[in-house]
Amino acid sequence: MIDLLAQTLREAGHSLTKPRMTVFGALQAPKPKTMNQLVTSVSDIINRASVYRAVALFEELGIITRIQHGWKYRLELSDAFTPHHHHLTCNKCHRIISFDEPDRFDEIVSGIAASHGFVLQNHGLEVYGLCPECQTKKAAT
Amino acid sequence: MIDLLAQTLREAGHSLTKPRMTVFGALQAPKPKTMNQLVTSVSDIINRASVYRAVALFEELGIITRIQHGWKYRLELSDAFTPHHHHLTCNKCHRIISFDEPDRFDEIVSGIAASHGFVLQNHGLEVYGLCPECQTKKAAT
DNA sequence: CAATAATTGCGACAGATTTGCAAAAATAAT
DNA sequence: ATTATTTTTGCAAATCTGTCGCAATTATTG
């Protein structure tokens, strides 16, 4: 996986440095991270500005993706660096569950792109609701 | 449509003021707007803080929705104020095309929620690619 | 109209993101 | 391996975004 990272950077004329590797590593965690979580998780080793720079570069090269999560956004590795998946988010406790591409979903998505003459490059599906636990907890009266 | 806005506000104990009406009006434009675009588009008449307040209120009442668009998020009217739809975004020129819910999409989405024990509340589908025009323009060498 | 409650505008702020530049690290060329 | 060259990083300062308190203004109620 680090190889693919190195290769992707090289091809674009950038090098795989320690800071970049660290940021990449921090994003390999299972759950998407807030920019702030990311910055603090590596702040001992890497400067804030450098984290931002790495994130900007990674996003530009399609290495990471941002997903909207209420008012905040989160970062996670893109499909090429982690299996393609989507998110199911609980509107109450905000837990995020990843799920695989539904069957035949590709057909639907490519059909949409095709009908507008687009060349499909990527897609994302976000589902929101209440998780089992939060359904139980009654709203505070 | 303004009636529905007024009604929605009233029911929640708020009034339909000129500033709010202006912000709502600005969002009725066909394309989703950046917070900054929104603020500047009405800055002659409305204070920045008030725009933020209106947006926060509208979002809380489900009148508007944020969609992620690359690094920025954008705002647009929610389903109740504009037909339910999704977005097809061009990765090069960033134009956004709205499209209707694909057939049987509900089944797929509710199936996902159900399989995780979630109560479905909402969903969003974003598709990215290259629009017809941008496929033609060759990348600048 | 008067009284009361909700909303705005403004200026000050706290947090988030960006930028300029010299020092440090990486890559290329002896 | 050592030096020259190019790319990155760290740091501090500057910007941009979104929020807050409070007095003035506008809307709602009787």
CATH of B83-141, one of 3.40.50.300, 1.10.630.10, 3.90.580.10, 3.30.1490.190: 3.30.1490.190
**Cα–Cα distance between B120 and B108 in angstroms, integer?**
11
Instruction: Say yes or no: domain B1-82 is CATH 1.10.10.10.
Output: yes
* 3-class state of residue B67 by DSSP: strand
Residues from chain B contacting residue A58 (CB–CB below 8 Å): none
Instruction: Flag whether pLDDT at A139 surpasses 70.
Output: no
Q: What is the pLDDT of residue B140?
A: 37
* Domain segments of chain B as ranges: 1-82, 83-141
User: Residue-wise pLDDT tens for chain B (141 aa)?
Assistant: 889 999 999 999 999 999 999 999 999 987 889 999 999 999 999 999 999 999 999 988 889 988 776 667 889 998 888 888 888 887 666 678 889 989 889 899 999 999 999 988 888 898 888 888 878 754 433
Residue A71 — pLDDT band, cuts 50, 70, 90?
low
* Chain-chain contact of B123 with A128 (C-beta, under 8 angstroms): yes
* Helical residues (DSSP H) of chain A, grouped into ranges: 2-11, 18-27, 35-42, 48-60, 105-115, 132-136
How many Å lie between the alpha carbon of B128 and the closest alpha carbon of chain A? 5
* Chain-chain contact of A124 with B126 (C-beta, under 8 angstroms): yes
Residues from chain B contacting residue A124 (CB–CB below 8 Å): 125-126
